[in-house]
Structure 1
């Protein structure tokens, strides 16, 4: 087992949960931006002009790219911290759903070029995967808090 210096142990232990809560909030913001981007397709007039000026589509892509990168890194980091602290991974629902989420965010992001070419199937699949991702993320937030509570009670 790798020995982490005492001053760094709280950082290694709690970096993953803190990052994931930030990413969960950003995921909800990305969903809001995605809904606004979707609305652009059916609006006209001043409302459409306001959304274009707000650059909701660009912000949606930027937040999505950030989420892709940091969700993958967060999943790896969470597994690494668990392994470093315990010498093993705990294979259970939290780990398995986290791995599924990592795959979902990657697949969702990979649909971007098809959506840019006008594929309605890609758009619907992107939205469906992301709604599933938001649901999984909410569940992960709850189970993650339970894990953090167990860690705090053990110390």
Structure 2
């Protein structure tokens, strides 16, 4: 309302500035004029010697001063962001990012479990190579029974086979572990959680500074903001390694793991540096 009133006052004052201040009424021009009158035709009296005195600078200067006085207030008033300026919008960022941290932990656990599932095959194959020849038997227990039975038991072979029983037990344990991990669908679950993490994390890493700017009119560069920016970069790097990882590239897999582990460290640092900010937001904002 102040801005509207000031504009109207400015228009009125500016109009008054251009109004003639002479008290003499100007006579209307005759309908028919003689030749000498046509030659000096000047209905607006632009050629008058008193034109310089017809403009009063005082009303115009008053309107300009009024606009200048109101300009800082008009410029300072930003758009009304509604609920996004209040406590609800301000708490949306820490709540979502807190959930994203838990999602990141879950994705990390599933990623390492899937890695364990993939590498178990190599461990099992290496252990099986240390087992003695079973002589065509289906299992180590059957080979021992064959060595001890029959008309001429082979006690030496039976002893050798029995010495391999701890190795066979370890193989059986690893096979059972791999079967259990395979039943959990870790590969698809890890990929789905990683994709959701990249989306939510990036979206709300941008939402946080936007909310701060809407509420305070400026940003506050510091460890929390820098850690968030670095975290988004690491998420992007980890996601960029996925195509090469699917083709068995171990270098890409190592970069993927390193980026995510470093990201977890930055995420933890963000929580520590964001806690004082959260307390200040709660203190300075109101519901909704």
User: How far apart are the structure 1 equivalents of 2:278 and 2:190?
Assistant: 31
The offset of 1:6, in angstroms, is 5.6
User: How far apart are the structure 1 equivalents of 2:84 and 2:227?
Assistant: 31
CA shift in 2, pair 1:80/1:27, >3 Å:
same
User: How far apart are the structure 2 equivalents of 1:131 and 1:90?
Assistant: 27
CA shift in 2, pair 1:43/1:140, >3 Å:
same
* 1:4 equivalent in structure 2: 81
1:43 corresponds, among 117, 120, 127, to: 120
User: How far apart are the structure 2 equivalents of 1:70 and 1:5?
Assistant: 23
Residue aligned with 1:41, SS: helix
* 1:99 equivalent in structure 2: 229
User: How far apart are the structure 2 equivalents of 1:64 and 1:47?
Assistant: 24
User: How far apart are the structure 2 equivalents of 1:14 and 1:109?
Assistant: 28
More helix by share: 1
2:281 corresponds, among 134, 151, 154, to: 151
Residue 138 in 1 paired to residue 215 in 2? no
TM-score (normalizing by structure 2): 0.52
The offset of 1:7, in angstroms, is 8.6
The structure whose RCO (Cα within 8 Å, separation 6+) is larger is 1
The offset of 1:8, in angstroms, is 6.5
Task: Give matches, 1:83-94, under 5 Å.
Answer: 83-94=213-224
The offset of 1:22, in angstroms, is 0.2
Give ranges in structure 2 of 5+ residues lacking alignment: 1-77, 122-174
Give ranges in structure 1 of 5+ residues lacking alignment: none
TM-score (normalizing by structure 1): 0.94
Deviations 1:103-147 (A, max 9, x none): 110110110011111111111111111110000000101111110
Between stretches 60-69 and 90-99, larger displacement belongs to 90-99
User: How far apart are the structure 2 equivalents of 1:69 and 1:52?
Assistant: 27
